[in-house]
Amino acid sequence: MAPTTPSATEAGADRAEQEPAVALDGLGRAYGERIALADVTLRLPRQRTLAVFGPNGAGKTTLLRVLATLLRPHAGVVRVLGCTLPGEGWAVRGRVGLLAHEPLLYRDLTARENLRFHAALHGAPNGRVDTLLERVGLGRRADDPVRTLSRGMAQRVAICRSVLHEPELLLLDEPLANLDPGAADAVEELIGRASARARVLISHDLEQGLGGADVVLGLRAGRPALLAAAGEVTTADLRRLYT
């Protein structure tokens, strides 16, 4: 539950540097009797992007949540950033950033207050909050309640939240939804390939998702239907997943 002593963490971090960002072996997760994920096996090297595709209910969000340590795996071995889940989940938590479907923001607090709150939870400095808000172009609206922001603006605040603590692995669930092209460019540095972080990305935009990926996973009914390097997959292959 509590973090280890500094020296142990550093030794662990050295060891972890050689490990892939994500290493799954037969990951399985069930909801009662129903299978949400089964037999998912893959490796994602550091600073590479995994794009996940699949129809609704295929298990994409479940996969993301398992990697975020929000759900425990029921079967198989899950290693994220060199730590085994769920036992070492506490060691991973500060190093992973999640951008979920919901912005995870309190609607009656301002953008700045929300981010400062998350900064306090992660031990990040308040200055970083202000920098990020400027970077995504919300400097002037930062002190308005989230309730008054448009979906696109709230999404931008959520993006700030997900990178506030400099995570080594980003988990993104349709990050560019609701964003206009200008905003999409503004956040590219933070969460796109240019951010040089390992990323797992869920997208319904086949071309864009494929374009930014190094590894591609296609899920259907919780099982991997397609797993290949991005160069070997075409959008036609992906489209078949959805039929």
Partner 1 sequence: MSAHAPPHPPRSSAVVAALIRKDLRLELRSGEAVPAMLLFSVSTFVLFHFGLDREALEGDLASGVLWVTLLFASVLAMNRLFVAERDEGGFDGFLLAPVDRTTLFVAKAVVLLCFLVAVELVAIPAYAVLLLGPSPWQAMPELLVVLALADLGIAVVGTLVGALGIRTGAPDLIVPIITLPLMLPIVIGAAQATAPLLLEGGAEALSGRWLASLGLYDMVFALIALAVFDFLLED
Partner 2 sequence: MFGRGLTSLSIAAAALVTSAFALVFFYAPNDADQGFVQKIFYLHVPLALVALAGFVAGGLYGVQFLRSGDRSYDLRSYVAIHISIIFGVGALLTGAIWAKASWGHWWVWDEPTLVAFLVVFLLYACYWPLRFSIEDPERQARYAAVFAILGGAFVPLCFLSVRFAQAAFTHPRVLDASGGSMPGAMRLTFLLSLGAIALLYMTLFKYELAAKHASIQLRRLKRRLAGDETFAAPARSAAPQHL
Residues of this chain that bind partner 1 (CB under 8 A):
1-3, 68-72, 90, 93-96, 98, 100, 102-109, 113, 117-118, 120-125, 161, 165-168, 189-190, 194-197
Residue choice 10, 31, 131, 240 for contact with partner 2 (CB under 8 A): 31
Tell me: does residue 102 bind partner 2 (CB under 8 A). Answer: no
Partner that binds at residue 34, options partner 1, partner 2, none, CB closer than 5 to 8 Å by kind: partner 2
Tell me: does residue 57 bind partner 2 (CB under 8 A). Answer: no
Cα separation of 217 and 202, whole Å? 10
Partner that binds at residue 221, options partner 1, partner 2, none, CB closer than 5 to 8 Å by kind: partner 2
181-191 vs 151-163: helix axis angle to the nearest 10?
Answer: 10
Q: Which is nearer to partner 2, 117 or 242 (CB)?
A: 242
* Residue pair 76/40 in contact by the 8 Å Cβ criterion: yes
* Residue pair 79/22 in contact by the 8 Å Cβ criterion: yes
Burial class (CB in 10 A: 0-12, 13-18, 19+), 186: middle
Minimum gap (Å) between residue 3 Cβ and partner 2:
23
* Amino acid at site 146: V
Minimum gap (Å) between residue 235 Cβ and partner 1:
29
Going through the chain in order, the beta strands assigned E by DSSP cover 22-31, 34-44, 49-53, 75-80, 83-85, 96-99, 169-173, 198-202, 215-220, 223-229
Residue choice 6, 7, 18, 32 for contact with partner 2 (CB under 8 A): 32
Partner that binds at residue 104, options partner 1, partner 2, none, CB closer than 5 to 8 Å by kind: partner 1
* Residue pair 105/161 in contact by the 8 Å Cβ criterion: yes
Task: Give φ, ψ of 33 to 5 degrees.
Answer: -90, -20
Cα separation of 189 and 111, whole Å? 20
Residue choice 13, 35, 186, 226 for contact with partner 2 (CB under 8 A): 35
Minimum gap (Å) between residue 33 Cβ and partner 2:
5
Residue choice 33, 87, 127, 140 for contact with partner 2 (CB under 8 A): 33
- The residues in 207-236 that bind partner 2, with binding defined as CB under 8 A, are 221
Binding site for partner 2 (CB under 8 A): 31-35, 221
